[in-house]
Structure 1
Amino acid sequence: MGARVSKATSCCCLRGQLHGSTRLDDPGSEEDEQGEAYELPAFQEYTFEQLRLATAGFAVENIVSEHGEKAPNVVYKGKLDAQRRIAVKRFNRSAWPDPRQFLEEAKSVGQLRSKRLANLLGCCCEGDERLLVAEYMPNDTLAKHLFHWETQAMKWPMRLRVVLYLAEALEYCTSKGRALYHDLNAYRVLFDDDCNPRLSCFGLMKNSRDGKSYSTNLAFTPPEYMRTGRITPESVIYSFGTLLLDVLSGKHIPPSHALDLIRDRNFSMLTDSCLEGQFSNEEGTELVRLASRCLHYEPRERPNVRSMVQALAPLQKDVETPSYELMDMPQAGASSVQSLPLSPLADACSRKDLTAIHEILEKTGYKDDEGTANELSFQMWTNQMQDTLTSKKKGDSAFRQKDFTTAIDCYSQFIEVGTMVSPTIYARRCLSYLMNGMAEQALSDAMQALVISPTWPTAFYLQAAALLSLDMENEAQDALKDGCAQETSSSSGR
């Protein structure tokens, strides 16, 4: 479990603007095209250290998607200062060689704010590093729910809702001068906490304004791109047509094959057999007609996005049922910590019982520092390491005797040397900070423990205790749930 990492260079700032980040022009509380205010923090620049902490050191366990060898741009899930859940896209070093172009594009996309988008919250541009920070969508992609479902196929009313919301997202972007979208497909449609579909902002960022950066599977490429190497807003409509086919068929059918089926009026081959009896012939025919118009060979013959919204809106027969019910998934926040089987440490942290936490940490010792003890003993011949071990022993003695001020000093000496890292040292200093009423420092240590060991339940539980001390009840509940999930996962894997 032990690993070498750099020391944290800053403590997390919790209330208000994040430490080290630069807040840019605030778009404010904007009313989107659907007439509802959607409030999010203003777009801001983050430091690389902030995002390293948020993703637990860009841990493999936090990867949610990645691309091929030619453009290995990896997306991680994370939490900013243990609060807001985020998705962090880390680009290949050669993807954006010009930092000014990257910042200009990111700032432009970052001004968009809509409940139909997984919005861009910020970016990082330090040295060769190029990262984007967006809202995290926890309920998978449209591709997963259409092509790789496990228990139940997506219902017809939900499919109609998906294409309407997607059309509304594109209409909003077009109204804000961002009509181009790179490689629109079912993997770009994400589902939020309430299972409402959102369009990923990353596709807006990846295209360049001259349209030259478009690339996709050639079978699904708009024909004009094959002729000119450029995309236009009409090309996005073509890709929207392929998505209409995906939703109707539950398969990723090449447009040329789909158009042949439509010409032959072989509609049964175009419709998902799982949808039998869920929609009328009129509804199916209308969706096929819209897809045909979007897939027209000539771009000028395709409909614009506003007309797509107007055509899809009347098809919505069930506008009252929440998306999470249509998807047969639990409502966001529906599960409570009380319903979870809590370990003794999780229970103590949920009650902020610092005495009980101390007893458990003392009893557990360093058994979770896998591999650390051997490396320490191997390096004991250096005077510096001997001093480091002495600091650790003194810290352990003070921790045992509940002299938490001395424990903080001794553990800090061990950490400052930086030769080795130990998640348990951070856990013990975290509790020592809590005992001394230093909740923000405690939270920082819990986050550092996660950087060293991203799946360690103890770090999540201590994070919850620190958040409770900061009166951040909802965030603490989330941390407890994350810890329980990790504990359950590790137990089932044994």
Structure 2
Amino acid sequence: MGGRCSKFSFCWWPSRLKPDVLESSDIECAGNDRNALSGFTDFGFEQLRTATSGFSVDNIVSEHGEKAPNVVYKGRLENDRWIAVKRFNKSAWPDTRQFLEEARSVGQLRNERLANLIGCCCEGDERLLVAEFMPNETLAKHLFHWENQPMKWAMRLRVALYLAQALEYCSSRGRALYHDLNAYRVLFDQDGNPRLSCFGLMKNSRDGKSYSTNLAFTPPEYMRTGRVTPESVVYSFGTLLLDLLSGKHIPPSHALDLIRGKNFLMLMDSCLEGHFSNDDGTELVRLASRCLQYEPRERPNAKSLVTALTSLQKEAEVPSYVLMGIPYGTVPSTPLPLTPLGEACSRLDLTAIHEILEKVGYKDDDGVAHELSFQMWTGQMQEMLNSKKQADSAFRAKDFVTAIDWYTRFIDGGSMVSPTVFARRCLSYLMNDMPQEALGDAMQAQVVSPEWATAFYLQAAALFSLGMDTDAQETLKDGTDLEARKNSRN
């Protein structure tokens, strides 16, 4: 996969402003001058259905860290304006008045550092939010799943400052609480400038908790009280600083241990070696450490974060799109349609996945399955081939418990490697509600056959089962891209 970092480890409008450091009031005024940001619209449901091509799965965008069934879609209005539409689960926001009041309150915010909320829809059981569309994906994508180049040090410092400015602006407007601040909620606009998603500013409804299920990244006081405070948001900002420093999602406890041991360089992204000064790195580490203090009162506020980060800015005259290595004025691209297998995995339709894998058989193993034993017809090899035959028979009969047993015997034999066997055992695990084991097998299939789209599709299915919807959407897209490249070569 070239320079792309591993996704998993076990262990949206253009800015005409120069990227110089701006005061929050200047940022707000600049935003208000833009006709695209004026007003807040009550959209009709049919209008949004049309804009998103009937809420097509092809228009789902992998961002915001949203959990299914609360899905974000890319949409295009009749005036050709691109929008992001978040559609809530029907059980969320049962109080119509509460939803409208909350949406209109967030919709009053207008700032160049936000992906602003520009409207909503409340018809029957439907609850939808409409925001500016950010075409250049998420911080998570550019930090963890980059393809062409790692994010430059100067851009990482700019992201930190712009995010702090966004939080300071929100705090100054009485919206200091932000729910589940993470790298998926930082989006990049048409000019490559980072923006904070407005969706996290909505007060919690019945659709979920304020923080993800990964307790290692949850503020300690939230664990005790279940309540979000401004200090909790600063803690989450600290985890984002760790992301920017390391290029990985490091648990704060582990990072703090390294910091206490003065192992600062172990925190730093190896891709950045030689591209930043030790003083700058140390200062950002120190700031992250302050944000991650156990006692909320010991953490800095958003205003002091802006002050500290302003002095660290590098290459302020260079536009963000240059630092990011993306074309100027990027416009949304039409997503590649999902293949039948990709579609089945996106819906977690295990029956359809089984039918497709059974139909395809082992044809994708051509040139991939490796015999590691020279003695082809020894008793051991014959036993392995028998295990595979028994496993395939059970898989065909949908006896997935037996299939797991026999496929495991084949794999443990170690004389042959087959990505299809891993794929079939992966589905068998999913059928038995064992998603973690299924994810392991799908990843093993990718190790054996790195350019095999099926391995990515099955990883997505396992991730959906684990509730990791954002990573699942990313992996689904990777599989689709691989399939498209393969078809173009053929």
TM-score by length of 1: 0.60
Asked if 1:215 is matched to 2:211, the reply is yes
Asked if 1:167 is matched to 2:164, the reply is yes
Name the structure 2 match of 1:36.
Answer: 30
Asked if 1:87 is matched to 2:84, the reply is yes
Distance in 1 (CA, whole Å) between partners of 2:63 and 2:290 is 33
Q: 2:107 aligns with which of 106, 110, 117?
A: 110
Cα contact 1:186–1:243 (8 A) shared by 2: yes
* Shift in Å, 1:54: 0.6
Q: Aligned in 2, Cα 1:293/1:118: closer, same or farther, shift over 3 Å? A: same
Q: 2:264 aligns with which of 267, 273, 280?
A: 267
Equivalenced residue count is: 312
Cα contact 1:67–1:73 (8 A) shared by 2: no
Asked if 1:187 is matched to 2:166, the reply is no
Distance in 1 (CA, whole Å) between partners of 2:174 and 2:322 is 35
Alignment of 1:30-429 (within 5 A): 33=27, 36-38=30-32, 39=34, 40-65=37-62, 71-207=68-204, 213-216=209-212, 217-332=214-329
Distance in 1 (CA, whole Å) between partners of 2:185 and 2:177 is 14
* Shift in Å, 1:71: 4.5
Cα contact 2:64–2:185 (8 A) shared by 1: no
Distance in 2 (CA, whole Å) between partners of 1:334 and 1:213 is 33
Q: Aligned in 2, Cα 1:493/1:81: closer, same or farther, shift over 3 Å? A: farther
* Shift in Å, 1:97: 1.1
Deviations 1:442-477 (A, max 9, x none): xxxxxxxxxxxxxxxxxxxxxxxxxxxxxxxxxxxx
* Shift in Å, 1:68: 9.6
Deviations 1:47-70 (A, max 9, x none): 001001111111111110379997
* Shift in Å, 1:32: 5.0
* Shift in Å, 1:269: 1.2
* Shift in Å, 1:96: 1.1
Name the structure 2 match of 1:414.
Answer: none
* Shift in Å, 1:317: 2.0
Q: Aligned in 2, Cα 1:138/1:68: closer, same or farther, shift over 3 Å? A: closer
Distance in 1 (CA, whole Å) between partners of 2:221 and 2:135 is 35
- The amino acid of 2:122's aligned partner reads C
Distance in 2 (CA, whole Å) between partners of 1:492 and 1:100 is 51
* Shift in Å, 1:198: 0.2
- Secondary structure of 1:108's counterpart equals helix
- The amino acid of 2:30's aligned partner reads E
* Shift in Å, 1:36: 2.7
Name the structure 2 match of 1:380.
Answer: none
- Secondary structure of 2:184's counterpart equals helix
* Shift in Å, 1:214: 1.6
Deviations 1:364-407 (A, max 9, x none): xxxxxxxxxxxxxxxxxxxxxxxxxxxxxxxxxxxxxxxxxxxx
Distance in 1 (CA, whole Å) between partners of 2:250 and 2:331 is 37
Distance in 2 (CA, whole Å) between partners of 1:78 and 1:72 is 18
* Shift in Å, 1:151: 1.5
Distance in 2 (CA, whole Å) between partners of 1:306 and 1:68 is 26
* Shift in Å, 1:228: 1.0
- Secondary structure of 2:122's counterpart equals strand
Q: Aligned in 2, Cα 1:221/1:42: closer, same or farther, shift over 3 Å? A: same
Larger Rg: 1 or 2? Answer: 1
- The amino acid of 2:77's aligned partner reads L
Distance in 2 (CA, whole Å) between partners of 1:206 and 1:75 is 17
- The amino acid of 1:36's aligned partner reads A
Name the structure 1 match of 2:371.
Answer: none
Gaps of 5+ in 2: 1-23, 333-483
* Shift in Å, 1:170: 0.4
Q: Aligned in 2, Cα 1:490/1:319: closer, same or farther, shift over 3 Å? A: same
* Shift in Å, 1:330: 0.6
- The amino acid of 1:162's aligned partner reads V
Q: Aligned in 2, Cα 1:492/1:124: closer, same or farther, shift over 3 Å? A: farther
- Secondary structure of 2:178's counterpart equals coil
Cα contact 1:71–1:95 (8 A) shared by 2: no
Cα contact 1:138–1:191 (8 A) shared by 2: yes
Distance in 1 (CA, whole Å) between partners of 2:51 and 2:219 is 38
Q: Aligned in 2, Cα 1:218/1:273: closer, same or farther, shift over 3 Å? A: same
Cα contact 1:31–1:37 (8 A) shared by 2: no
* Shift in Å, 1:207: 3.4
Cα contact 1:33–1:168 (8 A) shared by 2: no
Gaps of 5+ in 1: 1-29, 336-487
Deviations 1:136-169 (A, max 9, x none): 0000100000011112100000000000000000
- The amino acid of 1:215's aligned partner reads Y
Distance in 2 (CA, whole Å) between partners of 1:69 and 1:326 is 28
Runs (4+) of structure 1 exceeding 6 A deviation are 66-70, 488-491
Deviations 1:250-300 (A, max 9, x none): 000000100000000111210000001111111001000100100000001
Cα contact 2:27–2:113 (8 A) shared by 1: no
- The amino acid of 1:214's aligned partner reads S
